[in-house]
Chain A
Amino acid sequence: MKVCGPKLSLCCLVLSVWGIVQLTLMGVFYYIEAVALLEDIPLDESHNETTVFNIEEFKRMAQLGYSQVGIESVTLIEDAAEEKAANGKDFLQVTTKNYKAIASNCWIAATMYFVTLLIAVSQCVWAQRIQRAAQEKLEEEGCEDTK
């Protein structure tokens, strides 16, 4: 059953492999960040003078008193950080939820790429089979006359 030609199926194959690998890893990283965030930074209610708490505030406040955590989570936090939160605690909770949501998104997408991989593989095999049959047919015709 033909869905796409040989070139398209090869492209999809490569893309699917890449997608599976990268999305799985990204899901894992985002999940780790969520866990780390929750565990390491119990911000208390005291620092809620500001009306808007966003990622900039977080970067600075998070270090107070904790020297292990801080800038490490910078890499991925921009993807997950909440725009506006009421105070530190809210910010952390919502951000953690976001992290987990992103991680599950990544894993769902990885699974879908796995399905795409299966389809692409089947298309590739099918296209190869057709190509081989055409080649054999050509050789047959030529062979007969030289017998």
Chain B
Amino acid sequence: MCSFVAGVILRERIPAFERMLWRACRGNVFLRQAEIESPLEDPSSSDQVYKSVFIIFFQGDQLKTRVKKICEGFRATLYPCPEAPADRREMAMGVMTRIEDLNTNPLTFNVIIVIQCCHITSACVATQADAFLHPVLTINAHIQPLTSNIGWIWASFDVRRHLPFYPAVSCDAFQIVLGQTQDHRHRVLVAAAKNIKNWFVKVRKIKAIYHTLNLFNLDVTQKCLIAECWVPALDLETIQLALRRGTERSGSSVPPILNRMETIEAPPTYNRTNKFTSAFQHLIYAYGVATYREVNPAPYTIITFPFLFAVMFGDLGHGAIMAAFGFWMCYKEKPLQAKKIDSEIWNIFFGGRYIIFLMGLFSMYTGLIYNDIFSKSLNIFGSSWRNNYNATTLTNNTLLQLNPDSKDYTQIPYPFGVDPVWQIGMDNFHYDKFLIEYFKRRISVYVEFVPQIIFLTLLFFYMVLLMFIKWTTYGSSGEDHFGSEDPDIIASSGYCAPSILITFINMVLFKDTTEEQLRLRPKCPTEMYRGQMALQKVLVVIALLCVPVMLLGKPYYVMKQQKKRESQTHQPIEGAAENGTAAGAPVPSGHHDDDVTEVFIHQAIHTIEYVLGSVSHTASYLRLWALSLAHAQLAEVAWNMLLRKGLMSTGYEGGIILWAVFAGWAAISVAILVLMEGLSAFLHTLRLHWVEFQSKFYHGDGYLFQPFSFEAILDSAGQGEE
């Protein structure tokens, strides 16, 4: 005899259901299904879904269990169906009646009742509910409180049946109650949503506290916890006070004890910063955290960073845009911080707002010096160059140099910055070369160790000195001296000024160029000052002598130390301070004589790196010139190609065209010149700082002091979530 089960299942699941049945029961069951046309409401998600009704025939108990299991797995709902046809008819009638009931009177279903009163208790519910719905309502569930004065319960009632007892109540009233159910549910959820953030914060804080407590050690007596931690030495008093306050607040009788301990571990590095300096400090940290008690380059960075950036960026107009943006961010600090905007790019810009502001200001300054505003020059003081060539010479030559010696130059230098005439001049870069040397000299002062300093100073500082000498001795002579034959005047004129670069190269190569110079420029002296050749030779020799000192000094010292240690009984020698050679970490006391060769090799690498590095770094500063030139040229191109087309349009539509073109030019200026070039200059400045500056002396081996802080934990958790 066949038995069967019947039920409904989601339409999408039918094919898989069929297949599963076929495989599991080996084709011994028979499935028949039909689709239900109207969609039904899913109780859990309250969407409309399409279902199919099915009936499965099988024989035997085993198949029955299997089929029932499969139906469960596919979440089909099984309904009891009587076997005998008479019973089935009766059941069908019963179901029809119920459906009719539902359709004719829609007020027969469950409701949610939201109750507001001063205090949620069952008594409160009873009185309120009774007052409103007696006697149609039977409440036998507990009221669920949501907040201190709101609660809700589920109840069910059939109003139609009870209507005769409660004729005053109209159907509409109940409709309103039920219609408002959705609204109420929404509002209740909104109220809960407000508290969720607080709950999350509380949970996180508690978690963090317990996590930290887990790091403590349990005492022998199992009665107290011991924690070993790093504290800033200056803050000891504050910490004692805080511990005492905590004891008082928690009401315990046993005060905590704070003891200093000795340890050989390296302490973490803690640099106190305020909101202004912290951005610069983070730039340094990105390269490496300073070793404990190492020189912190951050204070210098505050000035050198924007300055180097500005040298590469120098344009009054673009600098003004950048400074305005930085100023706005700094001015509106508090409200912008409170907004907690999520975009990472915005957070990067906002974190560096002081840097951006300073960079903008410095760029305005260099823009004034370069005399560049959106690629045009300002003529505030009147140019100091005059054109004195006569007409014929002019028409015959397309490119001419204005000789500073002759009447062309009024001998009064332009008061501030580059003379606007340079805008039409082709030679823009001599000025920048001077700047580069200035920088190299300043940087070298910051290096602290003696042979390194000697090496650098002798060579590069001397080069800078030469520059100054050239500036001062080879000034242009006065107007009246043009064409004079006096050898003294000629010697100091601009005609004879040598090129510093060539001089330097010749110096290092020990080349004697006296005859060549005499041949090319016969009337000029071969030296810039008396004894130049001899002095240069001496300098180079001393600099070369520094190299073996750097190379061999430290290994020799280490060898001597080891011999001394062997001859004495084991006295611990703490990492003895090296004499000025390139510093490394102090030698720990357990170190024996196994790596003398290693030290040698190490030192050789250091020396080569240093010597070659100083030359290459000097050349590397040329990027200052390259970038500033690129920026100026880009700005000029933007103006000439774009804005000029708008300016030159004729007629009245010219104004309209200019209106549109200006918008485009402004967009390009901001996008390419400020953003892209700014980013590029920022990167190069960063690289200059990291590689050329900090690699000379900064080891950055330390790790950061990161105290327990609720703010940090909550911030990072909040970010992680989004």
Partners in one complex: yes
B403-433: contact bitstring with A at CB < 8 Å (1 yes, 0 no)? 0000000000000000011011000000000
A113, CB-defined interface residue at 8 Å: yes
A128 within 8 A of B: no
Q: Which of A67, A113, A146 has a CB less than 8 Å from the CB of B147?
A: A146
Residues of B within 8 A of A22 (CB): 662
Contact of A105 among B377, B391, B646 (CB under 8 A): B646
Interchain CB contact under 8 A, B191 and A146 = yes
Docked Cα-Cα span, A63 to B150, in Å, equals 91
Q: Which of B395, B648, B659 has a CB less than 8 Å from the CB of A112? A: B659
Q: Is A70 on the interface with B (CB-CB < 8 A)?
A: yes
**A64-78 residues at the B interface, CB under 8 angstroms:** 64, 67, 70-72, 74-76, 78
> Does B484 lie at the interface of the complex (its beta carbon under 8 Å from any beta carbon of A)?
no
Q: Complex Cα distance A61/B390, Å?
A: 9
Q: State whether A112 touches B655 (Cβ < 8 A).
A: yes
What's the Cα separation between A22 and B669 when bound, in Å?
13
Question: Residue B133 at the A interface, CB < 8 A?
Answer: no
Which of B379, B383, B647, B663 is A79 in contact with, Cβ under 8 Å? B647
Residue of A nearest to B376 (CB): A75
Q: Give, as a whole number of angstroms, the nearest-CB distance from B87 to chain A.
A: 51
The answer to whether A142 and B194 touch (CB under 8 A), given A70-B386, A105-B654, A109-B659, is yes
Which of A22, A75, A112 has the largest count of B CB atoms less than 10 A from its CB? A75
What's the nearest-Cβ distance from chain B to residue A117, in Å? 12
**B69 contacts chain A at the CB level, 8 A cutoff:** no
Given A61-B394, A74-B421 in contact, is the A109-B658 Cβ separation under 8 Å?
A: yes
B424 to chain A, nearest CB (A): 6
Give how many B residues have a beta carbon under 8 Å from the other chain's beta carbons: 44
Question: Taking the complex as formed, is A127 at the interface, i.e. its CB lies under 8 A from any CB of chain B?
Answer: no
Interface of A is mostly: helix
Q: How long is the Cα–Cα vector from A79 to B666 in the complex, in angstroms?
A: 18
Instruction: Output the least CB separation between A62 and chain B (Å).
Output: 8
A12–B629 Cα distance when bound, in Å, is 31
Question: Mask for A84-115, Cβ within 8 A of B = 1, else 0?
Answer: 00000000000000100110111111011100
Size class of the contact patch on chain A: 35 or more
Question: Are A101 and B654 closer than 8 Å at their CB atoms?
Answer: yes
CB distance from A48 to the nearest CB of B (A): 12
* A44, CB-defined interface residue at 8 Å: no
Q: Is the beta-carbon distance between A108 and B421 smaller than 8 angstroms?
A: no
CB-CB contacts of B640-657 with A at 8 A, as 1s and 0s? Answer: 100010111110101110
Contact B190 A70 (CB under 8 A): no
| Least distance between A99 CB and chain B CB atoms (Å) | 10
Question: Which A residues between 9 and 34 are near B, CB-CB below 8 angstroms?
Answer: 15, 18-19, 22-23
Q: Does B187 contact A (CB under 8 A)?
A: yes
Q: Tell me whether B147 and A74 are in contact (CB under 8 A).
A: no
User: CA A60 – CA B396 in complex, angstroms?
Assistant: 12
Query: Which residues of A lie under 8 Å from residue B387 when comparing CB positions?
Result: 59-60, 63, 70-71
Chain B residues with CB below 8 A from A70, complex form: 383, 386-387
Q: Once the chains bind, are B389 and A71 in contact (CB under 8 Å)?
A: no
Question: Does B112 make an interface contact (CB < 8 A)?
Answer: no
Note all chain A residues with C-beta closer than 8 A to B376.
Answer: 75-76
CA distance A64 to B666 in the complex (A): 39
Q: Contact string, B699-716, partner A, CB cutoff 8 A, digits 1/0?
A: 000000000000000000
Give Cα A21–Cα B434 distance, bound, in whole angstroms. 36
Q: Return B180 CB to nearest CB of chain A, in Å.
A: 12
Question: For residue B194, which residues in chain A have a CB less than 8 angstroms away from its CB?
Answer: 142
Let me know if A145 and B191 touch, CB within 8 A: yes
With A50-B395, A142-B194, A145-B187 as contacts: A60 and B389 at CB distance below 8 Å: yes
By the criterion CB–CB under 8 Å, are A109 and B391 in contact? Answer: no
How long is the Cα–Cα vector from A144 to B386 in the complex, in angstroms? 81
Quick check: is A141 within 8 A (CB to CB) of the other chain?
yes
Q: How far is the CB of A139 from chain B (nearest CB, A)?
A: 10
Q: Please report the C-alpha to C-alpha distance between residue A78 and residue B647 in the assembled complex, in whole angstroms.
A: 11
Where chain B touches its partner, the secondary structure class is: helix
A104→B389 CA distance, assembly (Å): 36
Q: B395 contacts A79, CB within 8 Å?
A: no
B655–A105 contact, CB under 8 A?
Answer: yes
Write out the residue numbers on chain B whose beta carbons fall within 8 Å of the beta carbon of A145.
147, 150, 187-188, 190-191
A57 within 8 A of B: yes
Q: Is B365 an interface residue (CB 8 A)?
A: no
B114 closest partner in A (C-beta): A145
* Contact status of A101 and B377, CB under 8 A, knowing A47-B391, A112-B659, A142-B191: no
A98 to B379, CA, bound (A): 21
Q: Which of B147, B420, B652, B662 contacts A19 (CB 8 A)?
A: B662
The answer to the question of A56 belonging to the interface, with a C-beta cut-off of 8 Å to chain B, is yes
Instruction: Report the minimal beta-carbon distance from B324 to chain A, rounded to whole angstroms.
Output: 10
Which residue of A75, A102, A105 is within 8 Å of B420 (Cβ)? A75
Please indicate which of the listed interface residues B376, B398, B652 has the most CB atoms of chain A within 10 Å of its own CB. Answer: B376
Residues in B whose Cβ lies below 8 Å from that of A19: 659, 662-663, 666
Tell me if B698 is interfacial: C-beta within 8 Å of chain A. Answer: no
Given A19-B666, A75-B420, A112-B655, is A67 in contact with B386 using a C-beta cutoff of 8 Å? yes
| B575 interface hit (Cβ, 8 Å) | no
Residue pair A57, B147 in contact (C-beta under 8 Å): no
A70–B410 CA distance with the chains assembled, in angstroms = 14
B385 interfacial contact with A, CB 8 Å = yes
Other-chain residue from A15, A64, A67, A105 in contact with B649 (beta carbon distance below 8 A)? A105
Question: B718 at the A/B interface (Cβ < 8 Å)?
Answer: no
- Report if B382 contacts A (CB, 8 A): yes
Partner of B648, one of A63, A102, A104, A144: A102
Return the chain B residue nearest A49 by Cβ.
B395
Chain A min CB distance to B85 (Å) = 55
A126 to chain B, nearest CB (A): 21
Contact call B654/A108, Cβ cutoff below 8 A: yes
**Of A61, A64, A105, which is in contact with the most chain B CB atoms at under 10 Å from its CB?**
A105
Contact string, B339-351, partner A, CB cutoff 8 A, digits 1/0?
0000000000000
Contact residues in A for B650 (Cβ distance below 8 Å):
101
Rounded to whole Å, the gap between the CB of A5 and the closest CB of chain B is 17
Given A63-B387, A72-B379, A106-B647: A18 touches B666 (CB 8 Å cut-off): yes
**Which residues from chain A contact B190 at a C-beta distance below 8 Å?**
141-142, 145
B383: chain A residues at CB < 8 Å are: 70-72
Q: Name which residue of chain A comes closest to B658, CB basis.
A: A109
In the bound complex, residues from chain B placing their C-beta under 8 Å from that of A147 are: 116
Max chain A CB contacts within 10 Å: which of B116, B379, B647? B647
Question: When chains A and B are docked, how far (Å) is the Cα of A60 from the Cα of B388?
Answer: 9
User: How close is A100's CB to chain B, nearest CB, in angstroms?
Assistant: 12
The residues of B that contact A56 with a CB separation of less than 8 Å are 398
Smallest CB separation, A37 vs chain B (Å): 14
Residues of chain B in range 360-402 having any CB-CB distance to chain A below 8 Å = 376-379, 382-383, 385-389, 391, 394-395, 398
Check B666–A74 contact: CB distance below 8 A.
Answer: no
16 A-B Cβ contacts within 8 A?
Answer: A60-B395, A63-B386, A71-B385, A72-B420, A75-B378, A75-B423, A104-B655, A105-B655, A106-B658, A108-B654, A108-B658, A112-B656, A113-B662, A145-B150, A146-B147, A146-B191
Known contacts A23-B662, A105-B646, A141-B187; 10 additional CB pairs below 8 A are A57-B394, A60-B391, A63-B388, A64-B391, A67-B386, A75-B420, A105-B649, A107-B655, A108-B655, A112-B659
Closest 3 CB pairs of A and B: A108-B655, A60-B394, A145-B191
